[in-house]
Amino acid sequence: MVKLLLVIRKGGDKLHKKKILLSIFIFGLTLSSLLVVDIFFPLDFLKGFTVTDKIFIWAITSIFFVYRMNINSKRQLVTLSISSEKDENKEKDKSTISFKDVAGLEEIKEELQETIDFLNNPHKYIKMGAKIPKGILFYGPPGTGKTLLAKAVAGETNSTFLYSSGSEFVEKYVGVGAKRVRTLFERAKKEAPSIIFIDEIDAIGAKRNLDSNNEKDQTLNQLLVEMDGFNTSETVIIVGATNRIDLLDEALLRPGRFDRHIYVGNPNINAREKILEVHTKNKPLDSAVNIKSIAQKTTGLSGAELANIANEAAIIAVRNNKNKIFINDFNQAIERVVAGLEVKNPSILFKEKKTVSVHESGHALVGKILKSDMIQKISIVPRGQALGYVLKFPDEERYLLTKKELTNKIIVLLGGRAAEQLVFNEITTGAKDDLNKATEIAREMVCSYGMSSFGNITIEDYYIKYNYEVIRKEIKKILDKCFESALRILDENKMILTVVADELMKKETLTSEELDEILKQYELSSNTAT
C-alpha cells in the first residue's frame, strides 16, 4: 500500500494537480469496488491488503467522492475561476513595427513623438515637472491604421505591448471584467515601459445611464480608477481605439485620463500613394503601372482596403499565369474590393438584364449631367449581391460639401430608380442600397448639418426617437424633391438614356471614355436646377 502511494506521488510531479486528483479518485473508486467484491468472492491479488488498508482506502475514496460532488454543485464559481485565468494569458509582445512601416499619417506620427520621447527619456520630463499624457485615444473609421500606430509607438520605444479588445472585459458574471482590468494594469506596471492597447474600447467605455448593465459599469469604473492611479513617474501609456467616439462616457474622455484625442481618418491622395508604395515594394510591377494613378482612383478608401487591393492585384496576376502585375490587374482588384466578387455565368433573365441596364445608365447619366463624381466604369456584370454597378470616385479631395452637392449626391443615387420609373412605368427592388445611402445623407442633412427647414440646429440621437415622425417627414421631403429632380433630368434626356442603356446591354461594360464618346453625339439638357 505504501509503495502504491509512493508511485502515485512520484507521478504527480509531472501531472497537473487536477489530473492527479481525478486519477486518484478513479483509481480509489475502482479499488474500493474490487474490495467490496472481495468480501463475497475472494480475489487472490488482494490477499496482501489488511483490514486497516481496506478501511483507509474506503475512507479516502469517500472523501474524494464528497469533494467531487461539492465541486459540481458550484459550477458558477468554477466558471469564474476559469474566466479569470484569461488574464494570465493576455497577449504580450515586444513590437517589431516602427514608424517606417506606417505609410502616410505624417501629422499623427509627429504628434506622437512627445509620447515616444517620454517613454525613452522619462527623467527629462520629470525633472521639468512636465506630465506626459496618461492616455491616447485613436478614433476614426475602420481600417485606417489605429492598431498599427499603437504597435509602432511600442516598437519605437521598445516597450512591452499589451493588446486587449474591449469585448474581452465584458462578462455576465459581476466582478470578472473589473478583475481583468486590475490584472492588466498590474502587469503593465511590472513590465514598464509598457503600452496598454484596448481596441474597440466603446465595448466597456460606453456612456452610462439608468439602463446600463451593472457589470459593464463596474468594469468602466475600475478602468477609470486604474487610469487615475498612475503616477507621473510611471512609464505606462494606455492607448484606446474606437470607431464611435460619440458613444464613450465623458468621464473617460476628460483630461487626466484620455488626454489626447487623435482622429485617424481615411488617407488623402499623397498618403494613399505612400501606402500603396509600401504594400507593393516587394511585388514585381510592370513598368507601366503608375502608383499615383491608382491612388487617384481610390479616393475614400482606407489603408486596409488599399493593402487588400495590392494583394488582390498580385493574386489576379498569379491566377492568369503572369510574371508581373499589370495595371489591368490593379483595376480588377479595385472593382473586387469596391463592388465585390464577380459572379461567373450568372443566370439572369433578359427582362431583368434590361432593367439593370436602364437602372445603371440612369445613375451614370445623372452623375455626368450634375458632374457629381468621376465615373470610371458602368457594368451590368453581377458582383456580390449587386446585379450591376457604377464605379465612381470624387475627381478631387473634398473635406467640405455644400447643401447643393449633398443634394446632387442624393439625386444621383435615386437616378437608377427614376430611370426605371421613366422607362418601364414601375420600380423594382434594385434600389435598396441606393435608398439606404440616400436616406442616410438626408438624415445627416436634417439631424447633423442644419440643412433642412428646421434651420440651424442639430438633433442628437437621444432626441430622435421622441421626434421620429417629424424628422421622418422632413427626410422624406428631401428625398421626394430629389427624386422629382432625377425624373426631370432623365425625362429631358430620355433619348440619350435609351442609347446608353442599349449600348450597355450589348457590351455589358462601358468605360468612362466609351460613355463620353456616346454623349458627344448628343446635346445634354442643362436645365437641371433643383
Q: Which positions are annotated as active-site residues?
A: 360
Q: How far apart are CA 147 and CA 162, in angstroms?
A: 12
Contacts of 452 (CB under 8 A, 6+ apart): 445, 446, 474, 477, 478
β-partners of residue 474 are none
Q: Widest CA span of the chain, in angstroms?
A: 112
CA 180, CA 188: separation in Å to the nearest integer?
A: 12
Burial classification of residue 145, based on how many CB atoms lie within 10 Å of its CB (0-12 exposed, 13-18 middle, 19 or more buried): buried
Q: Are 32 and 57 in contact (CB under 8 A)?
A: yes
99: which 3 cell numbers? Answer: 514608424
**Inter-residue long-range contacts of 526-529, CB under 8 Å, 24+ positions, other chains counted:** 526/369, 527/492, 528/369, 528/370, 528/485, 528/488, 528/489, 528/492
Cα 272 to chain center, whole Å?
19
Supply the DSSP symbol for 85.
G
d(CA 237, CA 315): 39
CA distance 437 to 426: 21
- 264: its cell numbers: 485617424
C-alpha span between 167 and 330 (Å, rounded): 36
Question: Quick one: the chain helix, strand, coil %, rounded to 5?
Answer: 60, 10, 30
CA–CA gap between residue 278 and residue 179 (Å, rounded): 41
Report the alpha-carbon distance of residue 404 to residue 413 in Å, rounded. Answer: 14
Distances (CA, A) of 360 to 345, 369, 408: 20, 14, 16
